[in-house]
Structure 1
Amino acid sequence: MAAVSDFFSLGSIVWCRTCYNKEIEGEVLAFDPPSKILILKCASTNGDPKLNDVNFINLSLVSELQVKKEVNHVPEVPQSLNLQRLNTRVRNQVDEKKRMLQAISANVSSEGQSLFIAIAKTISEVRWSNSEIVVWNQEVIISPPYQLENIRGNTTSKEYGYIRKVVEKHMKDIALSTQSPSVCQNNTSQ
């Protein structure tokens, strides 16, 4: 093999021939000197100009190597990650998963669990109190069997109206999903 450089500049164009006699040419994305792994961005093998192939090349298995174009300027430093935003997203996802787990682990009917999950998708302040679904710190409470007539709260409040609409939509969605197979059967039998 040709002498291995201790460093490949990011953005440089490199050509190599592997021990399997395969020729690879591409732009250097990364190079790890301890493992002698070179990562090249190459033209797509399917011919789509919008796509690229990424090849991981073990330089220990390369018989020839040439730097076709050396890049002398330092590439732009990538923008740093917004760790506060990422932490917030992680925390929100963990909270949502906990609510979903709480719905599944509650000792209630599948209808209650399903309604709880539907509400929790849009409202974060939802929890179980025994077998009752409590929304917005007891502004609205839904008791078994989790129908429209089982919603309690201030009937003139916006919160009550909103939860009522969520429950109505959930009940319609369930009704449609249970009717769909019979509708398909009716259509196919004609």
Structure 2
Amino acid sequence: MAAVSDFFSLGSVVWCRTCYNKEVEGEVLAFDPQTKILILKCLSSSGDPKLNDVHFINLSLVSELKVKKEVTTIPEAPQSLNLQRLNTRVRNQVDEKKRMLQAISANVSSEGQSLFIAIAKTINEVRWRNSEIVIWNHEVIISPPYQLENIQGNTTSKEYGYIRKVVEKHMKDLGLNSQNSPVCQNSSSSQ
């Protein structure tokens, strides 16, 4: 285990090797001496120069640690956080995860679960009613086996048309990714 400094200056560059033999180098964003958690801003793993990766390093699990560049000047005060915006994002993510869990825990086919997740990515008002996917408070309902012909609702409404396009796109995406899918076989035979 590496010797842990009592303090890391914000903006300093630190290199470490974790107990998993992963090397991480980045700029210190924060350090909590009580939990021995070091937060580093690193170059993006995607290669995009506009983005950064942020690593939370538990220094109790670090085998080597080096301060490559110590910052001696006091950095600017960090910007204050918009807590209302953060809380909204957390709430939205929790709601999204609940919908995804609902899809996975529903006692329906994998095709139904997959379609539910695809719809839930763009529409918040989607839920299960037994094995049916209910969208916009019963405006549109999709029954098993979750094909285009299983969409119910006012066929002239824009909601129905939108959901039909979502289902068509989902079926097309499944056709590109999984040629042996039952959804793909049914959709290709109806064209």
1:86 aligned residue: 86
Amino acid at match of 1:82: N
Q: Which is higher, the Rg of structure 1 or of structure 2? A: 1
Contact 2:112 2:146 in 1 (8 A): yes
The aligned counterpart of 1:184 is none
Q: Which secondary structure state, in structure 1, belongs to the residue aligned with residue 128 of structure 2?
A: strand
Distance 1:167 1:120 in 2: 12
Task: Give RMSD over aligned pairs.
Answer: 3.0
1:154 alignment partner in structure 2 = 154
How far 1:122 moved relative to its partner?
0.5
Report if the CA contact (8 A) 1:44-1:52 is conserved.
yes
**TM-score, length of structure 1 as denominator length:** 0.59
Q: How many angstroms apart in 2 are the aligned matches of 1:70 and 1:145?
A: 64
Contiguous gaps of at least 5 residues in structure 2: 16-24, 34-70, 181-191
The amino acid that maps onto 1:90 is V
State the partner residue of 2:107.
107
Report the equivalent of 2:145: 145
Equivalent position of 1:39 in the other structure: 9
SS at match of 1:141: strand
Could you say what secondary structure the match of 2:134 adopts?
Answer: strand
Aligned length: 128
Offset of 1:175 from its aligned partner? 1.3
Q: CA deviation at 1:38?
A: 3.9
Determine what percentage of the aligned residue pairs are the same residue: 78
Q: How many Å apart are 1:172 and its aligned residue?
A: 0.8
Aligned pair in 2 of structure 1 residues 83, 130: CA closer, same or farther (>3 Å)? same
Residue 78 of structure 2: SS of its match in structure 1?
coil
Q: Is the 8 A contact 1:103 1:113 kept in 2?
A: yes
1:158-169 maps to which residues of 2 (within 5 A)?
Answer: 158-169=158-169
Aligned in 2, Cα 1:69/1:133: closer, same or farther, shift over 3 Å? closer
Question: What is the match of residue 3 of structure 1?
Answer: none
Asked if structure 1 preserves the Cα contact closer than 8 Å seen for 2:104 and 2:113, the reply is yes
TM-score of the two chains, using structure 2 as the length reference: 0.59
